[in-house]
Chains A and B, each alone.
Chain A
Amino acid sequence: MVNSNTSALGIIFPNSYDSLVPELVSERLMASIPFAGRYRMVDFLLSSMVNSGIDNISIIVRKNYHSLMDHLGSGREWDLTRKNGGLSIFPPYSEKNVKVYSGRVEAVASILDFLETQKEKYVILSDTHTAVNFDFRKMLEEHISSGADVSVAYKREEIPEGFKKIEVGRSDLYYTLSIDNGRVNRIFINAPEPGPQNFSMNIYIMDRKFLMEQVKGAYARGYVYFERDILAPRLEKLHVHAYEFTGYTARISDMKSYFDENMKLLDDENLDGLFSPSPVYTKIRDDNPTRYINGATAKNVMVADGCVIEGDIENCVLFRGVKVGKGAKVKNCVLMQDTVIEDGAEVEYLITDKNVTITAGKTMKGADTHPVYVAKYQVV
Chain B
Amino acid sequence: MAKEMIAMLLAGGQGSRLYALTQKLAKPAVPFGGKYRIIDFPLSNCVNSGIDTVGILTQYQPLVLNEYIGNGQPWDLDRLYGGVHVLPPYQQASGSDWYKGTANAIYQNISFIERYNPQYVIILSGDQICKQDYSDFLRFHKEKGAEFSVAVMEVPWEEASRFGLMVADENDKITEFQEKPKNPKSNLASMGIYIFNWDILKKYLIEDEADPNSENDFGNNIIPNLLRDGRNMYAYHFSGYWKDVGTISSLWEANMEVLDPEHSGIDLFDDEWKIYSRNSGMPGHKISPEAIVENSMITDGCRISGSVKHSILFAGVRVEPGAEVEDAVVMGGSVIKAGAVVKHCIVAENVVIGENAVVGAMPADGEKAVATIGPGVYVGSNAKIGPNAMVNNNVKDGDVQW
A99 at the interface (CB under 8 A from B): no
A250 to chain B, nearest CB (A): 12
- The yes or no answer to B227 lying at the interface (CB within 8 A) is no
Q: Which of B242-286 contact A (CB under 8 A)?
A: 259, 268-269, 274-277, 279, 281-286
Please tell me if the beta carbons of A271 and B286 are within 8 angstroms of each other in the complex. yes
Q: When A289-B35, A305-B300 are in contact, do A38 and B293 touch as well, CB less than 8 Å?
A: no
Interface flags for A306-325 (1: CB within 8 Å of B; 0: not) read 00100000000111000000
B34 CB–A CB distance under 8 Å: yes
Within 8 A of A (CB), among B277-307: 277, 279, 281-289, 291, 293-300, 303
Q: Known contacts being A292-B293, A298-B293, is A76 close to B73, with CB within 8 Å?
A: yes
**Interface range for B:** 20 to 34
Interchain CB contact under 8 A, A36 and B283: yes
* Interface residue ranges, B against A (CB under 8 Å): 33-35, 73-74, 259, 268-269, 274-277, 279, 281-289, 291, 293-300, 303, 312-313
Residue of A nearest to B261 (CB): A291
How many chain A residues touch B (Cβ–Cβ < 8 Å)? Answer: 36
Neighbouring B residues of A296 by C-beta, 8 Å? 293-295
Whole-angstrom distance between the alpha carbons of A280 and B281 in the complex?
A: 7
Q: A93 interface residue, CB < 8 Å from B?
A: no
Quick check: is A57 within 8 A (CB to CB) of the other chain?
no
Q: Are A292 and B296 in contact (CB under 8 A)?
A: yes
Q: Is A318 a contact partner of B295 (Cβ separation < 8 A)?
A: no
B288 surroundings in chain A (CB, below 8 A): 299-300
Residue contacts A-B, CB under 8 angstroms, 7 given: A39-B283, A76-B73, A286-B275, A291-B296, A296-B295, A301-B287, A302-B284
Most-contacted residue by chain A among B279, B287, B300 (CB, 10 A): B287
Pairwise interchain contact B279-A303, C-beta atoms closer than 8 A: no
In the complex, the answer to whether B277 meets A286 with C-beta atoms within 8 Å is yes
Q: A282-B281, A294-B295, A299-B289 are in contact. List 18 more A-B contacts (CB 8 A).
A: A76-B73, A271-B283, A275-B283, A279-B282, A280-B283, A286-B277, A288-B35, A288-B275, A289-B297, A289-B299, A290-B285, A291-B297, A292-B298, A296-B295, A299-B291, A300-B287, A301-B286, A303-B298
Residues on B with C-beta less than 8 A from A317 are 284
A interface residues with partner B (beta carbon < 8 Å): 36-39, 76, 266, 268, 271, 275, 279-282, 284, 286, 288-294, 296-305, 308, 317-319
Instruction: Tell me if A290 and B299 are in contact (CB < 8 A).
Output: yes
> In the complex, A296→B287 CA distance in Å?
13
B70 to chain A, nearest CB (A): 12
Contact B269 A292 (CB under 8 A): no
| A288 with B269, Cβ < 8 A, contacts A38-B300, A299-B291 known | yes
Chain B residues in 8 Å Cβ range of A289: 33-35, 268, 297-299, 312-313
